Amino acid sequence: MTRKTIPITPAHAVRLEPAGTGQRIQLTASPPLALYIHYPWCVRKCPYCDFNSHTLRGDATPDTGLEARYIDALVADIESALPQVWGRRVHTVFIGGGTPSLMSAPALDRLLTAVRTLLPLDPMAEITLEANPGTFEAARFRDYRAAGVNRLSIGIQSFDDAALTRIGRIHDADQARRAVDIALTNFERVNLDIMYALPEQNMAAAMRDIDIAIATGVSHVSAYHLTLEPNTAFAHSPPPLPDSDLSADMQEAIEDRLAAAGFEHYETSAFARPGQQCRHNLNYWQFGDYLGIGAGAHGKLSSHEGIVREMRHKHPTRYLEAAARRDFVQERREVAAAELPFEFLMNALRLTDGVPTALFSARTGLPLSVIADRIDQAVAAGLLAADPLTLRPTEQGQRFLNDLLALFLPEAEAA
Amino acid sequence: MQHIRNFSIIAHIDHGKSTLADRLIQACGALSDREMEEQVLDSMDLERERGITIKAQTAALHYKARDGQVYNLNLIDTPGHVDFSYEVSRSLSACEGALLVVDASQGVEAQTVANCYTAIEQNVEVIPVLNKIDLPAADPESARAEIEDVIGVDASEAVLCSAKTGIGIDEVLELVVAKVPPPKGDPDAPLKALIIDSWFDNYVGVVILIRVVDGVLKPKDRILLMSTGAQYPCDEVGVFTPRSVAREQLSAGEVGFVIAGIKELQAAKVGDTVTLANRPAGEPLPGFREIKPQVFAGLYPVESSEYDQLRESLEKLKLNDASLQFEPEVSQALGFGFRCGFLGMLHMDIVQERLERQFDMDLITTAPTVVYEVLMNSGETLRIENPAKLPDLSKVAEIREPIITATIFLPQDYVGPVITLCNQKRGMQVDMRYLGRQVQLVYDMPMNEVVMDFFDRLKSVSRGYASLDYEFKEYRLADLVKLDLMVGGEKVDALSVIVHRASAQYRGRELAAKLRGLIPRQMFDVPVQAAIGSHIIARETIKALRKNVLAKCYGGDISRKRKLLEKQKEGKKRMKQVGNVEIPQEAFLAVLRTDESK
């Protein structure tokens, strides 16, 4: 089923209920609000990456004016979005990409100053910047810190030269270690992205990567199973990957190792020392709101009229052109009431501890009764914990989250 | 009558029968160029794709010969596949002559030979034609020698032609006039007409194609079909040019159609004799046979809600396919569906494909099976068309299986592997002859082994060069057992097969292993077992999947991740839930393919 993109008009706004459910959503309070800022350029596109990232060519370096134009556009983007989030406090900021650590420190400073000026940013807000090894210069990272960034998320992926080459990264193991050193010198909160089940990787190699990550002393690790996403170079010509049993073994071993080191496995792929969870990501998984600015950024915003998803113009060039017209949004659609339970659970059930049951109604505006039958099914299948106070996957449900979620997919409309 | 020539064309698939028919029609000016659709005689899409003719059609042509006289040439098309050998024999018995078309670059093939023998048995004059002589690989001399060696027909005067370029077409027509004898028959005798073919037309009902042997048929006559005794008023008679043209009468020696308000195709059986109710013929024409389906399979809708739609589709197909049989069937594993009977494997493929393409059905087809005769201790004989229905062996005195005689033509190089294959398939050699470039092998073989995967494997061991023709021979006592398969501890009735006891152990192990590979891993271990009665002979375990979870999901991924999950769910929908295991469609056909076929 392809969904049409419908522009928000008053006529649509009153017709929230999709055919079939007859439900009208009723939100009693606004969820917490986060801000996501997308920086769409990378030194080079990785063969497994399906994010909105584009190779930064020579003509797009900071001194050509492109960077300044992009920051201008981001600021204008926030300004144009202000009516939608008026008066709502922003709890976290996440600058992702692409490789946002390609930004110059003054540019980042200007951006964050604009954010603070335009939006009511929580003084204790978590402000995360994504960074890739190979872009690390000590001075610049010190300046990032000074600009207000207080958490760094580094795309290490592996500490093994051969593995890094196979997945097309621009950095090597030395650069990876140096990046972590620089990060830890300037930031208390650092996340390392590690991937396992890499091409030709064996168990020992996967464990070496995770051990090194732990030994650095960082407070957060994201351990991802390498996935061949559609429309990537890897999906087009797949490299030789470990089979599903080996990669499952790797996952279990990684979980054990991280647990032994004091990390809490709080989401499918996320591990944190106590109190060090990524608050920005938690907000996604708790079905909070987020404003997404920058090329291709996605946002989800709730109001008394319903829940809306929007996406900014995707290609950086189109985005910059559109910015000149103050027309940032490429797609905007209301989430139908029938789709909300699935979307909510797709996020919430990623969390090991799930969410309080009451959050379902608070975030979706729907009574729990709309999914009562399916909850019973999921509990009977041993995938959902039989706990009236929380919506939480069982251990089996965590491993087979797709099967658990499939129970909540809206039935396809009869042709 | 002296100016009538009734003839058909015998040719192997791809040897150019349809193209030659087109050329002949064109040369006689029956259709203008504008009307001349390529290969007019093969009107159905599927036939065109597969290059085979299923329904016999006909064209009445006027040809002005070199002797200055105008002849009525009736070209009677014949089906070109082994499943339809009875239809071929009826078409041929309506003719006095047959063009034996042989591809000059490839030589004689099994079906051509079989059909040619049928023609010779019916005293039909066989006229060899070497086609495709325009091809660089054409070797008319070898092909000529082969026709003489293999079929024993004098090929010294064989016409060289190319239906593609038009070379030699006039010579072919002249030869038809010169060599095909004019029909003999008595126009004054009581009507005797052979039903060559019949089909259903939405506007006029059943159209019957007949060859009048004796007598005359006019509209308003009351016809009598001799096998059933049914009577109908004749509404219209006429000929195909190939367009239909009404005539005042059809008389002895002529070929044409009859429309008599018949609603059901089964009423007008191919091979039956048409006579007049008020002046019936003494006895029918020889050779009539009730045709019975040889191969059965269960057809089930993937979506159980489409059961009614499947029934309607089968009913529509049956309108034009008297040999298709179906009756409702219930499978524990697959739900409600139909047990369908087919003339052979090709017929089954065609029906399945029409259901899927023309009627847009999603189907699960069980492995095809032959009809077994089961003699019960009580003395009763049962015909078993579904392995799941085989009675408990303690009540069975004996099981008999159908045996066919298979004739295989192949180049000498492949004799070794083909003989090995025939032996594997429990074949008994009857004859082996070296004929020029080719070898003719004749085997008696259980039909059960042929429907399994024989044809595919024959093609593969001979690199596509072997050709096969077969006919039913007899029912023969055999030591057969029912092999059941259990998935997750539950017997899956649609997977049961009847196999020879000697190969049961091996097949059981092989099938269990194959199912293990085809059934996707589930959240739990799933045992796959093969059993004869209560005796487990093989066991495999589908090991539990370890996880099924998306590694990443953040704010921007929602709709993409959701689509991924929807796709996963959609994939599962196409599987059948047996107990708590999802079994994909391919698994039900796995029983068809043996390991050696890979």
Min Cα distance A359 → chain B (Å) is 18
pLDDT at B117: 84
DSSP string over B227-267: TTTEEEE--EEEEESSSEEEES-EETT-EEEEE-----GGG
Please, how many CA atoms are within 13 Å of residue B315, restricted to the half-sphere of its CB? 7
pLDDT at B39: 46
**Number of Cβ atoms within 10 Å of the Cβ of B391:** 15
Give per-residue pLDDT as tens, B309-350.
999 999 988 887 878 899 999 987 788 999 999 988 888 888
Domain shared by A66 and A206, yes or no: yes
Share of chain A above pLDDT 70, in %: 92
* Axis crossing angle, helix A105-118 with helix A66-81, rounded to the nearest 10: 10
Residue B546 with chain A: CB contacts under 8 Å: 244-245, 248, 251, 399
Distances (CA, A) of B72 to A276, B126, B180, B240: 96, 19, 12, 12
Handedness of CA A371, A373, A377, A380 (dihedral sign): positive
B133 is in an annotated binding site: yes
pLDDT at A32: 96
Phi, psi (deg, nearest 5) at residue B156: -65, -30
Q: Which of B549, B555, B572 sits opposite A284 (nearest CB)?
A: B555
Domain shared by A273 and A154, yes or no: yes
In the predicted structure, residue A256 carries a pLDDT above the cut 90: yes
Report yes or no on A292 lying in a domain.
no
**Of A245-259, B300-314, B452-466, which range is least confident?**
B452-466
Predicted confidence band at B33 (pLDDT cuts at 50, 70, 90)? low
Q: Which two tokens stand for residue A277?
A: 């969870």
Q: What value, to the nearest 5°, has the Cα angle with vertex B480 and ends B477 and B481?
A: 155
In the predicted structure, residue A139 carries a pLDDT above the cut 90: yes
Domain shared by A133 and A271, yes or no: yes
Q: Is B552 on the interface with A (CB under 8 A)?
A: yes
**Of A61-75, A289-303, A392-406, B45-59, which range is least confident?**
B45-59
3-state DSSP: chain B helix, strand, coil percent, rounded to 5? 30, 35, 35
Q: Is A403 on the interface with B (CB under 8 A)?
A: yes
Choose one of A284, A308, A329: the last residue of a domain. A284
Are B555 and A290 a contacting pair at CB < 8 A? Answer: yes
Q: Is A99 on the interface with B (CB under 8 A)?
A: no
Q: Is B203 on the interface with A (CB under 8 A)?
A: no
Q: Is B305 on the interface with A (CB under 8 A)?
A: no
Domain shared by A272 and A350, yes or no: no
Q: Which of B521, B550, B556 sits opposite A298 (nearest CB)?
A: B556
All residues at 6 or more sequence positions from B177 whose CB lies less than 8 Å from its CB, including other chains:
B5, B63, B65, B67, B71, B73
- Chain centre to alpha carbon of residue A366: 25
Contact at 8 Å (CB) between A271 and A221? Answer: yes
Which residue of chain A comes nearest to B556, CA vs CA? Answer: A298
Domain shared by A59 and A207, yes or no: yes
Least Cα distance to B46 among B4, B5, B79 occurs for B79
Min Cα distance B548 → chain A (Å) is 5
Which residue of chain B comes nearest to A335, CA vs CA? Answer: B559
pLDDT at B53: 42
Give me the sheet containing A298-303, strands edge to edge. A264-267, A270-272, A220-225, A189-196, A151-157, A121-131, A90-97, A33-39, A289-293, A298-303, A306-312, A329-334
Give per-residue pLDDT as tens, B370-406.
999 999 999 999 999 889 889 988 899 999 999 999 9
More confidently predicted of B430 and B122: B430
Q: Which of B551, B558, B570 sits opposite A269 (nearest CB)?
A: B551
In the predicted structure, residue A5 carries a pLDDT above the cut 60: no
Min Cα distance A286 → chain B (Å) is 11
B134 is in an annotated binding site: yes
Give per-residue pLDDT as tens, B490-539.
888 888 989 899 889 988 998 899 899 889 898 899 999 999 988 999 99
Least Cα distance to A190 among A247, A136, A113 occurs for A136
Min Cα distance B558 → chain A (Å) is 7
Report yes or no on A47 lying in a domain.
yes
Are A309 and B554 a contacting pair at CB < 8 A? Answer: no
- DSSP H or E stretch at residue A271: strand A270-272
Residue contacts between A and B (CB atoms, under 8 Å):
87
Strands (E), A4-98: 33-39, 41-42, 54-55, 90-97
Are B549 and A399 a contacting pair at CB < 8 A? Answer: yes
Report yes or no on A297 lying in a domain.
no
- Chain centre to alpha carbon of residue B323: 10
Q: What value, to the nearest 5°, has the Cα angle with vertex A171 and ends A170 and A172?
A: 135
Beta-bridge partner residues of A34: A92, A290
**Number of Cβ atoms within 10 Å of the Cβ of B432:** 13
Min Cα distance B352 → chain A (Å) is 23
The domain spanning residue A399 has which CATH number?
A: 1.10.10
Min Cα distance A397 → chain B (Å) is 9
Q: Which of A268, A298, A399 sits opposite B551 (nearest CB)?
A: A268
In the predicted structure, residue A413 carries a pLDDT above the cut 80: no
> How many independent structural domains does chain A possess?
2
Q: Which of A248, A299, A343 sits opposite B547 (nearest CB)?
A: A248
Chain length of chain A: 415
**Of A19-23, B151-155, B215-219, which range is least confident?**
A19-23
pLDDT at A62: 55
Q: Which of B547, B552, B556 sits opposite A400 (nearest CB)?
A: B547
Are A245 and B546 a contacting pair at CB < 8 A? Answer: yes
Residues 315-354 of B with CB under 8 A from A: none
**Of A9-18, B287-296, B385-394, B497-506, which range is least confident?**
A9-18
Q: Is B559 on the interface with A (CB under 8 A)?
A: yes
Domain shared by A71 and A190, yes or no: yes
In the predicted structure, residue A308 carries a pLDDT above the cut 90: yes
Q: Which of B523, B556, B565 sits opposite A405 (nearest CB)?
A: B565
Report yes or no on A304 lying in a domain.
no
Least Cα distance to A382 among B560, B539, B523 occurs for B523
Q: Is B561 on the interface with A (CB under 8 A)?
A: yes
- Chain centre to alpha carbon of residue A151: 15
Share of chain B above pLDDT 70, in %: 93
Report yes or no on A104 lying in a domain.
yes
pLDDT at A324: 92
Domain shared by A355 and A272, yes or no: no
Which residue of chain B comes nearest to A227, CA vs CA? Answer: B551
Report yes or no on A102 lying in a domain.
yes
Q: Is B546 on the interface with A (CB under 8 A)?
A: yes
Distances (CA, A) of A308 to A282, A333, A378: 19, 6, 28
pLDDT at A125: 97
Domain shared by A109 and A215, yes or no: yes
Is the peptide bond prior to B417 cis by the omega test (within 30 degrees of 0)? no
Q: Is A396 on the interface with B (CB under 8 A)?
A: yes
Give per-residue pLDDT as tens, B43-75.
555 444 544 343 446 788 889 899 989 999 999
Are A224 and B551 a contacting pair at CB < 8 A? Answer: yes
Residues 270-309 of A with CB under 8 A from B: 281, 284, 290, 292, 296-300, 309
Give per-residue pLDDT as tens, A209-233.
999 999 999 999 999 999 998 889 9
Report yes or no on A226 lying in a domain.
yes
Report yes or no on A319 lying in a domain.
no
Domain shared by A247 and A362, yes or no: no
pLDDT at B345: 81
- The whole-angstrom separation of Cα B5 and Cα B183 is 7
Residue B543 with chain A: CB contacts under 8 Å: 245
Q: Is B558 on the interface with A (CB under 8 A)?
A: yes
ipTM value, please give it. Answer: 0.87
Q: Which domain holds residue A153?
A: 25-284
Predicted confidence band at A287 (pLDDT cuts at 50, 70, 90)? very high
- The whole-angstrom separation of Cα B238 and Cα B240 is 7
Choose one of A262, A284, A306: the last residue of a domain. A284
pTM: 0.68
Determine the average pLDDT of the residues in B451-457: 82
pLDDT at B453: 79
The domain spanning residue A193 has which CATH number?
A: 3.20.20.70
Q: Is B549 on the interface with A (CB under 8 A)?
A: yes
Domain shared by A79 and A223, yes or no: yes
Domain shared by A101 and A237, yes or no: yes
Contact at 8 Å (CB) between A239 and A233? Answer: no
Q: Average pLDDT, whole number, for chain A?
A: 90
Residues 457-516 of B with CB under 8 A from A: none
- The whole-angstrom separation of Cα A254 and Cα A10 is 51
Q: Average pLDDT, whole number, for chain B?
A: 86
pLDDT at A3: 40
pLDDT at A19: 41
Locus of tokens 């040897």: B15
- DSSP H or E stretch at residue B131: strand B125-131
- The whole-angstrom separation of Cα B100 and Cα B87 is 17
Domain shared by A229 and A377, yes or no: no
pLDDT at B47: 47
Are A402 and B565 a contacting pair at CB < 8 A? Answer: yes
Q: Which of B553, B560, B575 to mutate to test the interface with A (most CBs of A within 10 A)?
A: B553
Determine the average pLDDT of the residues in B235-254: 88
Range ranked top by mean pLDDT from A9-23, B105-119, B339-353: B339-353
